[in-house]
Every structure is written in structure tokens, then in C-alpha cells.
Structure 1
Amino acid sequence: MARKKKKQQSNNQGGGESSWMMTFSDLSTLLLTFFVLLISMSSLNEQALRTAFHNFDRMSGILFFRNREAVTLPENVAFKDIIKSLESVYVIDVRDIDEQTPEMISDREFNLLVSTGNLVWYKKQEIYRSFSFIFNDELLFESGSASLNPKVFPLLNKLAAFLKESRYMVFIDGHTDNIPPSPTSAYRSNEELSIARAMAVAAYFIEQAGVPPSKIAVTGYGDLLPIADNSTPKGRALNRRVELIFRPVEE
């Protein structure tokens, strides 16, 4: 009788151990699934994110992305009328910005261009059928502010018309030099100022020119991405800029 009872106890203990193993196995499977999902989510590239969130109504449809690829202009793109329309302010040849330096412009001419707000750069890089314009901040804004200069409205209207009629979207990047905003400024940092300026251009495109918000993305880099030496007035003038990067929308 004692042996039978002992055997029954042993059987019950074995069943308990088996149930525990099944529970542990289920938990392990769930954990494995969770980590697989984490890895797959972390592997999404920027284009996948942009596609996934393209129609989200956040900040009037404007999404923020950083670290985008470079952009370029092919020979046969039909926006050469835009380039032609910029002749009144377009003073740099259509070539890679890296081939253009302030030294190619005389001191007197450069200072005149900056003071009159007529400095616009054209940038060629590497993504098919994409292009960008870099605008000196004096052209778009009053000094130290994020209020658009009315004289630039006709230019922005032409760019907006292109956006509305084409299958392009625009990434608006704000940049500053490395001089912090003054204590009396409405902006606490250069990044704040750069975002405010990029947002001002985006707001004009959407509210005044009727560009769909889904065609616009905004980023403010502050002084993180200089294109010239901040130790000179010329370099700082080049670094205070807004870049409009036009890229075709993928079908």
C-alpha cells in the first residue's frame, strides 16, 4: 500500500513538471516573437517610415525626417522654367555647390549679394530626378527673425506651382551659423530658429499657395551642418540658409 501511494505521488510530480515545461515553452515563444518584431521594426529604413506615415495628419501633414540621402538634377527634367524664373536672384552657375566657393566671388560682389538678399545656390547631388535650391537667409527673412520677406512671395509662388502640378514633394531644411541668438531673441537656440524658418516657408506653401501638406516635410538643423567656415563673415553668411530639396514621389 505504501509503495502504491509513493508511486502515485511520483506520477503526480511528473505531471506537474511537464505542465511547467509547457508553460515555459509558451512564454519562450512569445518572447521570441516579441524580439523578432522589435528587430524588424528597428530595421525599417527611412523610406519605409515615410511610406507608412505619409498620410498621417500630424502637424498639418508635415512630418520630420533627418539624415536624408543627397539629391541631384538630371539633364532633362522639365523644371528649367523654374531656374529661368530665378534669374533675378540666381547668381551662381548650375553646378555642384562643392565646386563653388565664396572665393569665386569678389569680396565686394559677395557682400553686395548678401546685403541685397540675392544669393541663391543650386545643389546637385546623387538621387535620380531630385534637385535642391539653397537660399541665403537674407533673401527669405528679416535679420534674426522667422518672418518671411514679402519680396520673396512671387518666387515661392512659382515653386509652389511646380509642387502642385508635379509628382514632387519638398523637404525644407533650416540652417544657421554658430552665433547663438541674442538674449532679446524670441528663439532660445539656433535649432529653434532654423525650425521656425523652415516652418514659415512650409506654412506659406500650405496656407497661401495651396500646396498639399502631404508634399512637405520640415527639418531644423541649427548650426549642425555648416557648408562653410563659421570663423569668417563670408562663411557664416553661407551657413545661414534654407534648403528646399525637391524629390519625386514614388508611385
Structure 2
Amino acid sequence: MRQQTRSQSRRRGSQAENSNRDRWLITYADLITLLLIFFVVMYAMSTLDKGKYEEVTQSLQLTFKSGDSILEEGSGITGTADEYKNPDTTTTPPNTEIEPTQEVQVQEPHALTERELAFRQQEQELQGLMSVISKYVSDNKLDDQIFVADKPQGISITLSDQFVFDVGRADLKPASSPVLAKLASLFKNLGTTVSIEGHTDNLPITSASKYQDNWELSGARALSILRFFLEHENLSPDGFQYAGYADTRPVGDNTTTPGRQSNRRVEIIVLRQLQE
């Protein structure tokens, strides 16, 4: 009896082992089934529905009916000229309202204000002034003493100190009177401000000069020219201003003789501005 029981237990253990060993087949079969289903679904998705393709194509053709294809051959969006050729690209699609043609309005030139017109007129006057002075300087061979330039702030007329003053002095030389009188005649009808600015080099004032320093000397020289315009030429003081800058605005190198000479000057600037 015991032997029979032992024999049955061995058979059951053997069957259990065989059952455990064969379980991987179930997992493998499930995997194969899932892969098969996956490929079937992929195939079904990749199958072209010709009927739906035709519907989409016709819809696109109607949408882009008014234009030719961007492809080189055929008309319409897909280039299928034979099947969906647009017989008349100028035909208006049905149920579409025709918008009235909008006229292109040409913008008229901006009307200039009175101030803008005044600035234009002043600019013409400044250019004419520069032309007249440049010709006067050239005709009288004063190119090495008088320099005319068009600067952003206005027309600049630079007078060398040797031409207008003696060393360390602010009294006008008689030879400079004709030039200053000529400038005065050009300034009479200008509707702008004339700025007279004195400049020196960086050398200190000598004991022989009656001026304390270069500030006083540069201001006195500018004032002498201003007084000439007001007292000798009877110009209105409303159109003038003057200043002395000493050696603070050099145009040359103060370490050289030519540089210091170019720094000793008086600038008469006809400003680009309108008087109130």
C-alpha cells in the first residue's frame, strides 16, 4: 500500500515538473498572436482607400481652383490636369460675392509747415552765403588767412589771428576792415544768429599783455569783431552772440608751432537756427 502511494506521488511530481516546463509555450503563443495582430493592423492602415483619395483630391482642386499648380506640369494643386483641369480660371466660384475693386489712393505729398518752409529758405540762404564768401576769399587771395567750411552747426568763417590782431592784443588791424565790412553786408538780411567765438593756443599770456589770461584775451577778440559789426556797420545786436573759449577747443597740436598758429583764431559761425 505504501509502495503504491509512493509511486503515485512520483507520477504527480513528474507531471507537475512537465507542466511547469511547458508554460513558456503559452507566453510564446500569446506573443506570436499579438505580433500577428499588430502587422494586420499596420497593413490595414497602409492600404490606400482610392475612393477617399479621390474625394480629398477633388476637394483640394476646388479650393485652389483659381490658381495654377505650383508643379511644372498640370493645373491644380496635384498637377492632374486631365482629370481636374480648371476650364476657366477667371470664373468666379458659385455663391461667391464679387467685391468692388478698391481704388489705389495715391498719397499726396505732405504739406510743409511754415517752420519747415522757413528752414528750407534758410538753408538756401546759407549755401548762397558760403558760395559768395568762398568766391570773395579766392578772388582776393585770402585762402591762407580765411577758411570757409560747412559744419553741422552752420557756415563757419575762420579768421587767422595774424590777419586780424597783433600778438597778445585784441585791437583790429586796419587791413581786416574790408573783409569784415564784406561779411557785414552779407549778414544784414539773415534770419538767423551769428556766433563770434575767440580761441587761443595754450601758451600763457606774457607780462606785456594787458589781459590777465587766455580766457580774457579770447573773449576780448570776439567782442572787438562784434563791436565792429554793431558800431561801424550798424547791424542789429539781436542777431549776434559772442564767446571766448581760450585754449579749450583746439583744432591743431599745441606742441607744434603750426598747430598753435591754427588754434589762434576767431570763428564767425552763421548758425542753422531760426530766430523767434
Name the TM tier (shorter chain): 0.5 to 0.7
State the 1:121 CA deviation: 1.9
Instruction: Classify 1:89/1:179 alpha carbon distance in 2 versus 1 (closer, same or farther; 3 Å).
Output: farther
Asked if the contact 1:163/1:169 (under 8 Å) is kept, the reply is no
Give the secondary structure class of the aligned counterpart of 2:250. Answer: coil
Cα deviation 1:87-127 (Å, max 9, x = unaligned): 22442xxxxxxxxxxxxxxxxxxxxxxxxxx4222233224
State the 1:76 CA deviation: 7.5
Letter matched to residue 214 of structure 1: D
Letter matched to residue 174 of structure 1: G
Give the secondary structure class of the aligned counterpart of 1:195. Answer: helix
For 2:159, the equivalent position in structure 1 comes to 135
State the distance in 1 between where 2:175 and 2:211 align.
24
For 1:192, the equivalent position in structure 2 comes to 216
User: Aligned to 1:81, which of 115, 118, 132?
Assistant: 132
Asked if the contact 2:134/2:148 (under 8 Å) is kept, the reply is no
Question: Which structure has the bigger radius of gyration?
Answer: 2
Instruction: Classify 1:163/1:243 alpha carbon distance in 2 versus 1 (closer, same or farther; 3 Å).
Output: same
State the distance in 2 between where 1:150 and 1:75 align.
29
State the distance in 2 between where 1:165 and 1:217 align.
16
State the distance in 2 between where 1:74 and 1:206 align.
25
State the distance in 1 between where 2:254 and 2:177 align.
29
State the distance in 2 between where 1:156 and 1:89 align.
15
State the distance in 2 between where 1:249 and 1:90 align.
30
- Which segments of structure 1 move beyond 4 Å, counting only runs of 4 or more? 73-76
Letter matched to residue 137 of structure 2: L
Asked if the contact 1:89/1:120 (under 8 Å) is kept, the reply is no
State the distance in 2 between where 1:197 and 1:75 align.
27
Runs of 5+ unmatched residues, structure 1: 1-72, 92-117
Structure 1 residue 249 corresponds to structure 2 residue 270: no
For 1:216, the equivalent position in structure 2 comes to 240
Instruction: Classify 1:89/1:138 alpha carbon distance in 2 versus 1 (closer, same or farther; 3 Å).
Output: farther
TM-score with structure 1 setting the length: 0.56
Letter matched to residue 122 of structure 1: V
Asked if the contact 1:229/1:235 (under 8 Å) is kept, the reply is yes
State the distance in 1 between where 2:200 and 2:262 align.
9
For 1:39, the equivalent position in structure 2 comes to none
State the 1:156 CA deviation: 0.6
Percent of residue pairs identical? 34
Q: How many residues align?
A: 151
Structure 1 residue 183 corresponds to structure 2 residue 207: yes
For 1:126, the equivalent position in structure 2 comes to 152
State the distance in 2 between where 1:162 and 1:249 align.
17
State the distance in 2 between where 1:76 and 1:186 align.
38
Letter matched to residue 162 of structure 1: L
User: Aligned to 2:262, which of 228, 238, 249?
Assistant: 238
Asked if the contact 1:135/1:241 (under 8 Å) is kept, the reply is yes
State the distance in 1 between where 2:141 and 2:240 align.
24
Give the secondary structure class of the aligned counterpart of 1:165. Answer: coil
The residue correspondences of 1:48-63 to structure 2 (distance < 5 A) are: none
Structure 1 residue 225 corresponds to structure 2 residue 276: no
Cα deviation 1:26-62 (Å, max 9, x = unaligned): xxxxxxxxxxxxxxxxxxxxxxxxxxxxxxxxxxxxx
Letter matched to residue 145 of structure 2: L
Letter matched to residue 146 of structure 2: V
Higher relative contact order (CA closer than 8 Å, sequence separation 6+): 1
Cα deviation 1:182-204 (Å, max 9, x = unaligned): 01210110010000000000000
For 1:173, the equivalent position in structure 2 comes to 197
TM-score with structure 2 setting the length: 0.52
For 1:52, the equivalent position in structure 2 comes to none
Instruction: Classify 1:163/1:75 alpha carbon distance in 2 versus 1 (closer, same or farther; 3 Å).
Output: closer
Runs of 5+ unmatched residues, structure 2: 1-122
